[in-house]
Structure 1
Amino acid sequence: MTEAVRRVEPDEFRWSMPSPVAGEVHAIVEAAERADGAAPLDEAVLLRLRNHGIAGGALLVSDDPPVGFAWVHDGDLAVVVHPDARREGRGRDLVEMALESADVATAWSHGNHPGAARLAEAFGFTRERDLWVMRRSPRDLPELPAAPDGVAVRAFEPGRDEDAFLALNAEAFAHHPEQGRMTRVDLDERMAEAWFDPEGFFVAESTQLDPGRLVGFHWTKVHDGPPPTGEVYVVGVSPTVQGSGLGRLLTLAGLHHLAGRGLGEVLLYVESDNAPAIAVYSRLGFTHADADTHVQYRRGPAATVSPAPA
């Protein structure tokens, strides 16, 4: 372990009023995204750092000022090295100290970065999940189908729908390792983001059996860019109405909404082994390029570390 890597104390890091460390973390993230074409931290990590700081986790930085950092929270590791400082062994040093400082079970590589693959192999991580990014133009969309009998689609209403949405989300994603665990705090943090637009958050409610119960939703999102890009943020349908065509209706409702925003592209994320969802999205014109993949690695038994820097 190199002495150039140190652990940051919680009172050193304030995202909303950037300290020197937070400012450097911002700069490293932005430079990595420009170089790699993919954000190196996912939304959950950014929300955690912005809203809760680094308490309860471990933030490690390489050199002063930092040219790389590692963040560990709930057993998940993220490592980001500035493009100008790569292939000097900094990523390796950060991973080594992270493994000594905290219990690490998983790590994500956003964009399937080859340097991440080398580090994963060196430290005994194996490839466990592939998360695809699928994309399409919002032009030439299929027409909206009719709603299934007994179901009405409307916009989400803040102050009314939160609890019903969370119950439906837990039901629809009962086996999903991240989405199914969404809490009210998680929801409130996302609704407080500048991108949140209830007009782009569609919910389907029952009008016959159990009137008013939410049975499906499609939450859309717009990324500022440049250029601005739409996202099928999350689509969920209750198991009680699967096969009714509601998922397709909700997806198209959101796509038509995003098309009305004048965006050039819409993207979505889907697990690579979710064949039914991929089939639906493919029929709707979404495509996937092999390089447009995020990879989750899981750490196995201790391994002999390779000397190759990353």
Structure 2
Amino acid sequence: MTVRPIEIATDLPVIRALAGVGKLSERKVMDLARNRPIGDGVVLEAETGAIRAYLHLHEHASHWAAEIAGDPGDQLAALIEAAASRVAPDPLHLWTSDDALTAALESLGYHTDRELHQMRRALPPGRLPDVPSTVTIKAFRIGLDETMWLALNNRAFAGHPENGNWCLGDLMERMDQPWFDAKGFLIAWEGGRMIGSCWTKRHPGTDHGEIYVVGVDPTVRGRGIGTQLTLVGLWDLHEQQGAETALLYVDASNDPAMTLYRELGFSASMTNRSFVIS
């Protein structure tokens, strides 16, 4: 077996097939679709020349995030070491929800620093939203709301490694995805000011709908705006978009959010763990 850097021109069709549907997170899938920046990834190649596994790298502001597709078998350590050497001295965080890979990483002595739960509940939610009379919910207006929403989002997620510090390109990239529908991107307004949003995502080919991003301006926290926006989003997913199951992702360490989502009937269905590679 040989571990080598990805060669985009020849490897891309193979690694796209290895990635498959649902085997990589959304961020990594978008990288593959746009041919970037996977030149920093590595593949495990058999003596026959067949690619057995690859490790996908994506650069964040403070670290590199990685995921593995395929089966590296007993070459897992070699694959990880090759990737870590390419991004050194920056930290590398390897994400997985696979139980076998989790056990293998633990056996190699790696430890987790974050856990991200996928939570689900059946729709409709039962409980109706009770939005304050001073707050109006409207659909996102393409060409008008981008700048204001980015400012709101970056205040709401200040310091968050994935959702914070977004630029216009981050927003536009997601708006270019085939699932995007502005009618399901719900904005809360109060007195002419954008105070929160609940961005929903319908998963094509399934009965699933996702609370994709929900956030409120820090100045209005404590008023229950986030709870009401989430309920509005759940009802929209069911009544307007035809979803029968709702899902969302939340950091296991985010106790207020975990409490809220449990109160809204969600329960954990899967856990994605980040292993620190040093």
**Given the alignment of the two structures, is residue 263 of structure 1 paired with residue 243 of structure 2, yes or no?**
yes
CA change 1:73–1:46 in 2 (3 A) is same
Q: Deviations over 1:111-158 (max 9, x none)?
A: 243323423552x5321001011100112421121x225321111011
CA contact (8 A) 2:96 2:102 kept: no
**Distance in 1 of aligned mates of 2:94 and 2:81:** 16
Q: Map of 1:177-216 to 2, 5 A cutoff?
A: 177-207=161-191, 211=192, 213-216=193-196
CA contact (8 A) 1:61 1:68 kept: yes
Q: TM-score, normalised by structure 1?
A: 0.80
**Distance in 2 of aligned mates of 1:62 and 1:117:** 23
* Length, aligned pairs only: 270
CA contact (8 A) 2:42 2:82 kept: no
Q: Map of 1:24-173 to 2, 5 A cutoff?
A: 24-30=14-20, 39-54=22-37, 57-63=40-46, 64-74=49-59, 75-82=64-71, 87=73, 89-103=74-88, 105-119=91-105, 121-122=107-108, 124-145=109-130, 147-173=131-157
Task: Give, as a single letter, the amino acid of the residue that structure 2 aligns with 1:219.
Answer: W
**Given the alignment of the two structures, is residue 239 of structure 1 paired with residue 218 of structure 2, yes or no?**
yes
**Distance in 2 of aligned mates of 1:73 and 1:248:** 32
CA contact (8 A) 1:79 1:94 kept: no
Task: Give, as a single letter, the amino acid of the residue that structure 1 aligns with 2:146.
Answer: E
Q: Residue 5 of structure 2 corresponds to which residue in structure 1?
A: 7
CA contact (8 A) 1:148 1:244 kept: no
CA contact (8 A) 2:116 2:249 kept: yes
**Distance in 1 of aligned mates of 2:66 and 2:128:** 43
Displacement, 1:77?
A: 2.2
CA contact (8 A) 1:62 1:94 kept: no
1:22 to 7, 12, 18: 12
Displacement, 1:190?
A: 0.3
CA contact (8 A) 2:123 2:245 kept: yes
CA change 1:23–1:55 in 2 (3 A) is closer
Q: Which runs of structure 1 show a deviation greater than 4 angstroms over 4 or more consecutive aligned residues?
A: none
Displacement, 1:5?
A: 2.1
**Distance in 2 of aligned mates of 1:155 and 1:139:** 20
Query: Unpaired segments of 5 or more residues in structure 2?
Result: none
Deviates more, 1:107-116 or 1:172-181: 107-116
Provide the secondary structure at the position in 2 that maps to 1:180: coil
Provide the secondary structure at the position in 2 that maps to 1:44: helix
Provide the secondary structure at the position in 2 that maps to 1:215: strand
Q: Deviations over 1:25-60 (max 9, x none)?
A: 122122xx6xxxxx3321112212322433663343
